[in-house]
Amino acid sequence: MELIIGKNSGFCFGVKRAVDGIENDCKTYGKIKCLGEIVHNETVVESLEGKGVTFVDSIDDVNDNDILAIRAHGVEKDIYDIARSKNLKIRDYTCPKVVKIHEQIKEAQESGYDIILIGKKSHPEVIGSKSYAKKVYLIEEIEEIESLPELGKVFSIVQTTFSMKKYKEIKEKLKLKYNNIEFVDSICLSTKSRQEECAQIASKVEFMIIIGGKNSSNTKKLYEVACLNCENCIIIQDEYDKKIEECKKYGIIGIMSGASTPINTIQKVADRICNLN
Ligand code: SF4
């Protein structure tokens, strides 16, 4: 059996920075609150809980003077004001690439642009980014473009982990609708490389395995990319998934992971596959 593991598997830069930072903070401060899951990966979340992190859904669940960690996806703008009013110590691990999107949205608003944000509406990064301007038109599906109104000069920006294929289609349709539109192609290089490599590997293997958290949006997109290029694909969270046994039927197997999957999970999946035979 031949196993091809994507070189772009494992944590992306932003997730590694956040996870390492919070682990260090646990050693320094002991107890930390984190707003929302640090990353969409249960293994990582459970490991950090064991080190002193409590994940909360609302800033209301953070007590005055607590230490508050902000995850790589970022949060809404007003969370910082509430955190300051509660005298929280903020450990901000918003990925610099997401911070740049916040800044570009603010600048576009100040310069009088109408803003279109392309992304998954329920994704924390998109919810956070949207809060950086008073009015943002949010587009997740190409069909939604038809319901957009006539706009002045338009500024368009995209979620860092959005599907490249879907973004290209939406971008082309927006160009047809608006003459005066500027695009910032803000899909992260880590996302692009991962999706491109996933497509390459999937096109030459018999069976493709995507590893990632069940709520991870970028993992689901990788799975979609894999399915376009390989007839037999599965998506799993870790080495315990029974679907791995399907590998027995195939000779060449590919593996790619989402941006929030630790490298040791990938290694454990690879070991389990090797031990099947
Ligand atoms: S995918 Fe890119 S933008 Fe998102 S956290 Fe990772 S490095 Fe940052």
Query: Tens digit of pLDDT for each residue in 242-251?
Result: 999 999 999 9
5 lines ligand 1 (CB under 6 A): no
The torsion angles phi and psi of 93, rounded to 5 degrees, stand at -110, 25
| Ligand 1 centroid to residue 15 C-alpha, Å | 7
Residue 130's domain spans which residues? 97-188
Total domains present in the chain: 3
97: CA distance to ligand 1 center in Å?
7
Positions of the chain with pLDDT lower than 50, given as ranges: none
Give the end of a domain, one of 188, 216, 246.
Answer: 188
Exposure string over 108-120, b if 16+ CB within 10 A, otherwise e: bbeeebbbbbbbb
The pLDDT assigned to 118 comes to: 98
Kindly state if the Cβ of 160 falls inside 6 Å of ligand 1. Answer: yes
Among 98, 100, 163, the mutation site with the greatest number of ligand 1 atoms within 8 A of its Cβ is 98
* Residue of 96, 2, 78, 79 whose CA lies nearest to 36: 79
pLDDT recorded at residue 247:
95
**Same structural domain, 140 and 194:** no
Distance from CA of residue 94 to its chain's centroid?
12
- 269 CA distance to ligand 1 middle (Å): 24
176/210 same-domain check = no
60 and 40 together in one domain: yes
- DSSP states along 175-223: HHH-SSEEEE----HHHHHHHHHHHHHHHH-SEEEEE--TT-HHHHHHH
What CATH number does the domain containing 27 carry? 3.40.50.11270
pLDDT of residue 235: 96
Identify which of 15, 17, 41, 192 to mutate to test ligand 1's pocket (most ligand atoms within 8 A of the CB). 15
Position 39 scores a pLDDT of 79
Please state, in angstroms and rounded to a whole number, the distance separating the CA atoms of residues 37 and 48. Answer: 10
- Domain C-terminal end among 135, 157, 188: 188
153 shares its domain with 76: no
Q: Which domain CATH number covers 251? A: 3.40.1010.20
Asked if 30 and 51 count as a contact pair (C-beta separation under 8 A), the reply is no
Write down the pLDDT at residue 43. Answer: 84
* CA dist., res. 96 & res. 190, Å (int): 13
According to DSSP, the β-strands at 181-184 and 233-236 are unpaired
Together in a domain, 73 and 101: no
Both 81 and 113 in a single domain? Answer: no
pLDDT recorded at residue 214: 82
What is the model's pLDDT at position 41?
A: 82
Q: How far apart are the first and last CA of the chain?
A: 9
CA dist 204 and 217 (Å) reads 24
Active site residue 141: no
- Residue closest via CA to ligand 1's atom 6 equals 14
Tokens of 264: 């040791």
Residue 216: per-residue pLDDT: 84
* Distance from the alpha carbon of residue 152 to the mean position of ligand 1, in angstroms: 31
270 shares a domain with 211? yes
The one catalytic residue in 125, 140, 197, 239 is 125
Q: Is 186 in the pocket of ligand 1 (CB under 6 A)?
A: no
Q: Among 50, 73, 94, which residue terminates a domain?
A: 94
* Closest CA to ligand 1's atom 2: 188
